[in-house]
Amino acid sequence: MARDTAHSEVGRIKSVLLKRPEAGFVNQEFVDQEWESLNFLGPPDFSKAIQEHQSLEGLISARDSNIHYLPQSNKVTLDSVYCRDATIVTDFGVILCRMGKDQRSEEPEAERACFEKVGLHILGQIKAPGTLEGGDVAWLDMNTLAVGHTYRTNYEGIEQLKHLLEPSGIEILVAEMPHYKGSSDVFHLMSVLSPVDIKKAVAYSPLMPIHFRNELFKRDYELIEVPDEEFESMAANVLAVAPGECVMVSGNPITKSRLEKSGCIVHEYDGEEISVKGGGGPTCLTRPILREI
């Protein structure tokens, strides 16, 4: 029998939080003022960003998903369109993160109001000196939550996450992520790992911790490998909208072919403005609330 849960990255999305460019990027003038200080690769084109997001949104709504929208706020930046990062949703309630990037510090509180409006309980909040970002967190199964130790998520934040979830029987599996491009770069666990079906994930193994990768194999995971030439174009950041059905940024034909050969249905959207320039793929642009498994 099907059931609804927040403890899945691959079930059919029933409800999800999004922030449209109209609310996050605001206008071209706002984009031009902020992009460089936020370490975007370039200034997003506002009009094209709207079109790209509409395409992504259409792929999600086609699954009969209930979409909630974050409003514009003068307390947050362009980064707020990457709404996964500010919160973690569990069956016990919402955990408000504490961002590892200082410019994003107001995002968790901005999302709190939206979750309270739709009637979701706030389970807890990560507090200083802890940091934790949602892009570092992925459900491997109903009772196992993987979390990356990165420049955005520190040990104190991970310990607070354990305190909130371990009493309810959730195992926290820590992945010790590499330095890669350093503290100024956005490099999350989900930069190299995206579950797409039960026991199946897209992965970029050259930047995966050995112990964590071996643990996935112990849990009978199949890894669909991203080639070197497609990592920077966000091929490892893939959103499952249903089991074995996923959405990815266009321009990654090798990874797409490997997904299809593994039995997955793949949808693409142009993401130069909303994904590549800001370092946030489709998982980053969405905060799933409930999935059907």
> For each successive 10 residues of the chain (293 residues), what is the average pLDDT?
94 98 98 97 98 98 93 97 98 98 97 93 98 98 98 98 98 97 92 98 98 98 98 97 98 98 98 97 98 97
Residue 204 lies in a domain: no
Q: How far apart are CA 94 and CA 253, in angstroms?
A: 36
Strand, helix or coil at 58? helix
Question: Under 8 Å CB-to-CB from 74, ≥6 apart: which residues?
Answer: none
Q: How far apart are CA 12 and CA 247, in angstroms?
A: 12
pLDDT of residue 7: 98
pLDDT of residue 118: 87
pLDDT, tens digit, for every residue of 148-188? 999 999 999 999 999 999 999 999 999 999 999 999 888 99
Question: Which among 83, 85, 78, 80 has a CA at the least distance from the CA of 67?
Answer: 83
Q: How far apart are CA 119 and CA 130, in angstroms?
A: 27
Please report which residue ranges of 184-248 form alpha helices under DSSP H: 210-218, 228-231
pLDDT of residue 184: 86
Residue 177 lies in a domain: yes
Q: Which CATH number goes with the domain that contains 87?
A: 3.75.10.10
Q: How far apart are CA 146 and CA 138, in angstroms?
A: 5
Question: Which is it for strands 222-225 and 239-242: parallel, antiparallel or unpaired?
Answer: unpaired
* Number of CB atoms found within 10 A of residue 40's CB: 19
Residue 127 lies in a domain: yes
Residue 56 lies in a domain: yes
**Amino acid (1-letter code) at residue 271:** G
Residue 241 lies in a domain: no
Contact 131, 156 (CB under 8 A): yes
pLDDT of residue 255: 98
Question: Which is it for strands 193-197 and 12-18: parallel, antiparallel or unpaired?
Answer: unpaired
pLDDT of residue 196: 98
Q: Which domain holds residue 87?
A: 4-183+271-292
Domain count, the chain: 1
Q: How far apart are CA 99 and CA 285, in angstroms?
A: 16
Which region, left, alpha or beta, applies to residue 57 given φ > 0 means left and ψ of -120 to 50 means alpha? alpha
pLDDT of residue 175: 98
Peptide bond into 167 cis (omega under 30): no
Average pLDDT over the chain reads 97
Please report which residue ranges of 36-166 form alpha helices under DSSP H: 46-61, 107-117, 155-165
pLDDT of residue 52: 98
Residue 224 lies in a domain: no
Residue 115 lies in a domain: yes
pLDDT of residue 152: 98
Kindly provide the b/e burial profile for residues 42-70, where b requires at least 16 CB atoms within 10 angstroms of the residue's own CB: ebbbbeebbebbebbbebbeeeebeebeb
Residue 138 lies in a domain: yes
